[in-house]
Amino acid sequence: MRSETPPNVVDLPDLRGKVRVFGERADGGRALAGMMAGFRGAEAIVLAIPAGGVPVGAALARELGLPIDLAVVSKITLPWNTEVGYGAVAFDGSVLLNEALLAQLPLSERDVAAGVAATRQKVEGRLAALRGARPFPDLSARTAILVDDGLASGFTMRAAVRAVRSAGAASVVIATPTGHDHTVRALAPLVDGLYCANVRFGSRFAVADAYARWYDVSDSEVRAILDQQRLPPTTA
């Protein structure tokens, strides 16, 4: 029997447990906007996690009339399986390791250090490509709305939450079109609010299953979306 939903979690009951509920990522963003109308005109900023979170975040920001920026975070992946991560590196250089998972993996300290270094380099490269020299926004009097296209393990989002807390956000909210029930419950105590339109259950979960049209979002598409949202240009 499932425990009661945490009080700071908002979902859409009609979408619980269902798949293919959104056409594409932007549809998920629009669904979230309908759930988050109270943020329209608020002192809030959408911080999208590239790459998949950007189409979602752009639609959400557009519908609510909020500014958008990026929270670059990347998972640290296994050398033999780039789909599986054992930690994450955030835009501020902070590292979060999944110690419970690491204890089960045949990785040496040198392997982990190499993985962290490679991921940190990846994050720095993406920051340079997508944000340039533009300073990170001041969050001290704002709500940071962290957006991704889905929550599977939630480890990337966990690292993002910690980084924006460290950056001084007045409050932190997670917004995502789809997520596993277990992950939603695990992340809820870390934030002030969590909006997940399509909460799903069971032993098998794939973010892609929430969408009829799924594809890898390129950095060039990210830049085009941000240009359309009139994000201030980067400074080389």
Q: How far is it, in rounded angstroms, from Cα 168 to Cα 120?
A: 22
pTM summary value: 0.92
Burial class for 139, CB neighbours closer than 10 Å (0-12, 13-18, 19+): buried
Instruction: Provide the terminal-to-terminal Cα distance of the chain, rounded to the nearest Å.
Output: 55
Say if residue 51 is preceded by a cis peptide, omega within 30 of 0.
yes
Place of tokens 């752009």: 58
Q: Tell me the residue type at 192.
A: D
pLDDT at 1 (0 to 100): 41
In the chain, where the domains are located: 9-75+130-228
- Please state which CATH class domain 9-75+130-228 belongs to: alpha beta
Give the burial string for 40-60 (b: 16+ CB within 10 Å, else e): eeeebbbbbbbbbbbbbbbbb
Which of helix, strand or coil describes residue 168? coil
pLDDT at 227 (0 to 100): 84
Give, for all 236 residues of the chain, the pLDDT tens digit.
Answer: 456 789 999 999 999 999 999 999 999 999 999 999 999 989 999 999 999 999 999 999 999 999 999 999 999 988 888 778 899 999 999 999 999 999 999 999 999 999 999 999 999 999 999 988 888 999 999 999 999 999 998 999 999 999 999 999 999 999 999 999 999 999 999 999 999 999 999 988 999 999 999 999 998 999 899 888 765 444 43
